[in-house]
Amino acid sequence: MAEKINIEQLAVAAIRSLCIDGINKANSGHPGMALGSAPTLYTLWTRHLNANPKDSHWINRDRFVLSAGHASMLLYTMLHISGYDLSLDELKAFRQLGSKTPGHPEYGHTDGVEATTGPLGQGIAQAVGMAMAEQALAAQYLDGEKLIDHYTYVLSGDGCLQEGLSQEAISLAGHQKLNKLILFYDANQVTLDGGLDLTFSEDVKTRFIASGWNVLEVSDGNDIDEIDKAIKQAKKSKDKPTMIMIHTVIGYGSSKQGTSKVHGSPLGMEDGKKTKVEAYGFDHEEFHVPLEVYKHFEATFAKRGLKHYEAYQKLLTKYQKSHAVEFAKFAALTKGDVSRYLPEEIPEFVSGTSESTRNASGKALNAYMLALPNLIGGSADVASSVITKINGGTNFEPNTRYGHNINWGIREFAMASAQNGMLLHGGLKTYVGCFLVFADYMKSAIRTACISNLPAIYLFSHDSIAVGEDGPTHQPIEHLAMLRSLPNIHVIRPCDERETFSAWKLALKSEKTPTALILSRQNLPLIEGSSDKGVAHGGYVISKEKKNPRLLIIATGSEVSLAIAAQKKLLEEGIDVRVVSMPSIEIFNEQEAKYRDEVLNLPHKKRVSLEMLSTFGWARLAKHNYGIDTFGASAPAKDTMAHFGFTLDKFVEFIKGIL
């Protein structure tokens, strides 16, 4: 390619070349899709995306999510060239310790990265959540469509579309008519192991159409005008999200183009140089970006973004004048500042009452909803079982976007992942719910929330074998251990109504840590010693010893009342014990050692944990662990509990055995 190339071709060549250089230098990374999809992102950035790199958190910016997170070098290159806070040196440090350019995009780590991606499929679901948040937020304010009105773009490969999660998300987006969501499908016919003929024969276009999407096609992924035309058309959609299938060549221009060999291996110096010079007409030293390319991005992307940004600032000033109260609310809530709305005190509760913690959670949700106008959420078709509805509230639907009740359908994974997207968007407080046993379906999305520091809220009810008749498939055993093993999560299993209100308050106050509330199906008595402050400490003495405790029982949730009953019975026989309620091990571990030692005032060998779930993990806190390390059984709850030893007599016997 000897002839002179125009600025657009030059820019695309520079983008591709930087991708080659970054991956070569790291000797690690995925050039395949980066080279194939470079023109798509070039077109999006220079002709459509509205954002301001100088204020990259501007609430009304367009969102772009790289669902195919392995093509991270392409995203970093776009962010660098378009003026985000990402230097060329950072691109040179691709995939190195401490760099801002980790192997896969990490939200909060790199300026301009909108979502943590890499686990395939999750980017699509997060983008769906962002598009939902955009619609919800616009509807929650008077004339809110002035405040929030933007597009959400997402780039997916074959991998994301093969993941089951993508179909959950696509189906949901079609049903919700998220017309401002635009998905680019990099259709390069290749995945990691080889050609698509190995694994994927479905008609992807028909699949999207069947799910309620518009489908457009770009026959040549190098044709900027063709891509541009498709985006323009997609933006006109009034009632459907749009998928643009773009035919690209994996590893475009390299000697291994069109094959899986270029999916995830650096080109190497020789092929890299040859590809840059011969295929792209780009004969420069490594990591060179011609000045005119930077200027071109300034004149297109940055200029357009700034124009929109400045117009928005003017609009905000006007809005502030005409809608002072609404504006104050918008300003506070889009900063995530809920403290001024949330009551510090929890209600008074009447002794002698009994309530399941799932019901208590429903009451707490409805109480806090009155104070927190941007609370929105729902469940995966178990709203009446997990008690996730806002009473008298409207459903979030295409014609009632102001509704706060989301019917997620039976799509747990997409629900959890889309919640991440909603939180990433900003402006909303969210929660999602399902049975604890199905937390596994959501696991990877929960993990992403933890990595991304998102204050997601999970309501997990039916929290033990006390589910009864539904049997082992519906009785959680190892699930609490699984959740607790995640870094950066608060798992809270309240023991009564009071603790549940406290747990909800903590969840709503959290800014960077997800919270899982573990809720009972069965009624639990209000416990005299339960305390709001105690929950805030994660664990506390809920029922003190008489004088000199010989043992210390640490219980959570529904087992706290059993522990207290055992304490009473043991005392009758002259055995003094202390009972600690430990709704959240993680929060307890965050307390000062002095406090922890005061609560757990006996040595490890004199402590007993009591939880009607797997004992896994409890050995760290107590030598003796009373729990269930097999699967459950189908029977009425009372019989199941008796069968597994969760009766007063059996537990007391166990304690005596220790002594």
Ligand X SMILES: Cc1ncc(C[n+]2csc(CCOP(=O)(O)OP(=O)(O)O)c2C)c(N)n1
Residues 51-110 that bind ligand X (CB under 6 A): 68, 70
Q: By C-alpha distance, which of 565, 561, 447, 461 is closest to 514?
A: 447
Residue least distant from ligand X (Cβ)? 157
Q: Which of 65, 93, 120, 628 binds ligand X (CB under 6 A)?
A: 120
List beta partners, residue 578. 552
By CB under 6 A, residue 190 contacts ligand X: yes
Rounded Cα gap, residues 60 and 533, in angstroms: 39
Look at the alpha carbons of 314, 318, 319, 324 in this order and tell me if their dihedral is positive or negative.
positive
Query: By CB under 6 A, how many residues form the interface with ligand X?
Result: 20
- Does 163 participate in catalysis according to the annotation? no
- In whole angstroms, the minimum distance from the beta carbon of 484 to ligand X comes to 23
Query: Which range touches ligand X (CB under 6 A), out of 30-38, 204-212, 239-247, 587-595?
Result: 30-38
Q: CB nearer to ligand X: give 160 or 637.
A: 160
By CB under 6 A, residue 118 contacts ligand X: yes
Q: Which of 11, 13, 15, 33 binds ligand X (CB under 6 A)?
A: 33
Q: CB nearer to ligand X: give 103 or 632.
A: 103
Q: CB nearer to ligand X: give 119 or 362.
A: 119
By CB under 6 A, residue 442 contacts ligand X: no
Look at the alpha carbons of 544, 545, 549, 551 in this order and tell me if their dihedral is positive or negative.
negative
Q: CB nearer to ligand X: give 186 or 611.
A: 186
What letter does residue 123 receive in the DSSP assignment?
Answer: H
Which of 412, 497, 586, 611 is the catalytic position? 412
Query: Which range touches ligand X (CB under 6 A), out of 87-95, 155-163, 278-286, 301-309?
Result: 155-163
Q: What's the token pair of residue 392?
A: 């008298």
Q: CB nearer to ligand X: give 244 or 555.
A: 244
By CB under 6 A, residue 32 contacts ligand X: yes
Judged on CB neighbours under 10 Å (0-12, 13-18, 19+), 593 is exposed
Query: Which range touches ligand X (CB under 6 A), out of 116-124, 360-368, 496-504, 508-516?
Result: 116-124
By CB under 6 A, residue 401 contacts ligand X: no
Per-position x/- string for 276-315, each x denoting binding to ligand X as judged by CB under 6 A, each - no binding: ----------------------------------------
Q: CB nearer to ligand X: give 167 or 300.
A: 167
Q: Which of 16, 30, 493, 624 binds ligand X (CB under 6 A)?
A: 30
Q: Which of 188, 407, 502, 522 binds ligand X (CB under 6 A)?
A: 188
List beta partners, residue 154. 65, 183
The CA-CA-CA angle for residues 45, 48, 52, to 5°, reads 65
- What separation in angstroms does the CA of 16 have from each of 74, 158, 185, 272? 8, 21, 19, 10
To which residue do tokens 């499908």 refer? 185
Residues 246-275 that bind ligand X (CB under 6 A): 250, 263
Q: Which of 157, 427, 557, 632 binds ligand X (CB under 6 A)?
A: 157
To which residue do tokens 């405790």 refer? 549
By CB under 6 A, residue 447 contacts ligand X: no
For the chain, helix (H) and strand (E) counts, in that order, are: 26, 18
Contact 34, 123 (CB under 8 A): no
Query: Which range touches ligand X (CB under 6 A), out of 114-122, 346-354, 393-401, 521-529?
Result: 114-122
Per-position x/- string for 631-650, each x denoting binding to ligand X as judged by CB under 6 A, each - no binding: --------------------
Q: CB nearer to ligand X: give 191 or 609.
A: 191
Angle between helices 72-81 and 31-47 (to 10 degrees): 30
By CB under 6 A, residue 129 contacts ligand X: no
Dihedral of the CA atoms 488, 66, 11, 220 (nearest 10)?
170
Q: CB nearer to ligand X: give 197 or 572.
A: 197
- In whole angstroms, the minimum distance from the beta carbon of 214 to ligand X comes to 22
Per DSSP, which regions of 119-166 are E strands? Answer: 152-156
| Buried/exposed code over 204-220 (b: 16+ C-beta within 10 A; e: otherwise) | bbebbeebbbbbbebee
Is residue 566 helix, strand or coil? helix
Contact 605, 617 (CB under 8 A): no
Residues with Cβ within 8 Å of residue 500, at least 6 apart in sequence: 357, 360, 361, 364, 494, 517, 519
By CB under 6 A, residue 169 contacts ligand X: no
Q: Which of 158, 463, 559, 586 binds ligand X (CB under 6 A)?
A: 158
Give the H/E segment covering residue 130. helix 122-140
Alpha helices, DSSP H, located in 275-406: 291-297, 303-322, 324-334, 357-371, 383-386
- In whole angstroms, the minimum distance from the beta carbon of 70 to ligand X comes to 4
Q: CB nearer to ligand X: give 192 or 331.
A: 192
Q: CB nearer to ligand X: give 52 or 156.
A: 156
Query: Which range touches ligand X (CB under 6 A), out of 87-95, 188-196, 404-412, 419-427?
Result: 188-196
Contact 338, 507 (CB under 8 A): no
Q: Which of 99, 152, 191, 448 binds ligand X (CB under 6 A)?
A: 191
- Residues recognised as catalytic: 412
Q: Which residues bind ligand X (CB under 6 A)?
A: 30, 32-33, 68, 70, 118-120, 157-160, 163, 186, 188, 190-192, 250, 263
